[in-house]
Amino acid sequence: MRLLRNEPLKKHTSFRIGGPADYFCIPRNMAELKDALVFARERGLGTVIIGAGTNLLVLDQGFRGVVVKLAGGLNWIRVNGGRIEVGAGVHIAKLLQVLGNKKLGGLEFLAGIPGTVGGAIVMNAGAWGKEIADYVEQVLVIDRAGRQKILKRRVLGFGYRRSRLQGSRWILAQVVLKLRKKKRGLIRRKVRENLIKRKAAQPLGIPNCGSVFKNPKGDFAGRLIQEAGCKGMRIGDAQVSAKHANFIVNLGDARARDVIKLMTSVQKKVKDRFKIRLEPEIKIMVKSPS
| CATH 3.30.465.10 residue window(s) in the chain | 77-201
Distance from C-alpha of 251 to C-alpha of 117, rounded to nearest angstrom: 28
| CATH 3.30.43.10 residue window(s) in the chain | 4-69
The pLDDT of residue 50 is 94
Distance from C-alpha of 8 to C-alpha of 196, rounded to nearest angstrom: 33
Report DSSP letters for 128-189, one per residue: TTEEGGGGEEEEEEE-TTS-EEEEEGGGS--BTTB-TTTTSS-EEEEEEEE-EE--HHHHHH
* Cβ atoms 96, 191 nearer than 8 A: yes
Angle between helix axes 92-101 and 184-201 (nearest 10 degrees) is: 150
The pLDDT of residue 215 is 94
**What mean pLDDT is predicted for residues 89-100?**
96
Q: How confident is the model at residue 288 (pLDDT cuts 50, 70, 90)?
A: low
- Give catalytic status of residue 162 as yes or no: no
- When the pLDDT of each residue in the chain is averaged and rounded to a whole number, the result is 94
Fold of 77-201: 3.30.465
- Give catalytic status of residue 42 as yes or no: no
Classify 4-69 by CATH class.
alpha beta
Distances (CA, A) of 247 to 11, 26, 237, 267: 20, 28, 14, 13
Classify 221-285 by CATH class.
alpha beta
Task: Print burial letters for 207-226: b (CB count within 10 Å at least 16), e (below 16).
Answer: bbbbbbbbbeeeeebbebbb
Q: Does residue 289 carry a pLDDT above 80?
A: no
Q: Does residue 287 carry a pLDDT above 80?
A: no
User: Exactly one of 7, 108, 131, 281 is catalytic; which is it?
Assistant: 281
Q: Does residue 190 carry a pLDDT above 90?
A: yes
Q: Does residue 192 carry a pLDDT above 60?
A: yes
Distance from C-alpha of 121 to C-alpha of 283, rounded to nearest angstrom: 15
CA angle 114, 236, 113 (to 5 degrees): 10
In tens, the pLDDT along 145-169 reads: 889 999 999 999 999 999 999 988 8
Percentage of the chain with pLDDT > 70?
A: 99
User: Exactly one of 16, 211, 241, 255 is catalytic; which is it?
Assistant: 211
| CATH 3.90.78.10 residue window(s) in the chain | 221-285
In tens, the pLDDT along 24-44 reads: 999 999 999 999 999 999 999
Distance from C-alpha of 137 to C-alpha of 156, rounded to nearest angstrom: 10
CA angle 8, 10, 11 (to 5 degrees): 80
- Give catalytic status of residue 290 as yes or no: no
Cα diameter, the chain: 53
User: Exactly one of 161, 163, 241, 255 is catalytic; which is it?
Assistant: 161
The pLDDT of residue 131 is 96
The pLDDT of residue 290 is 47
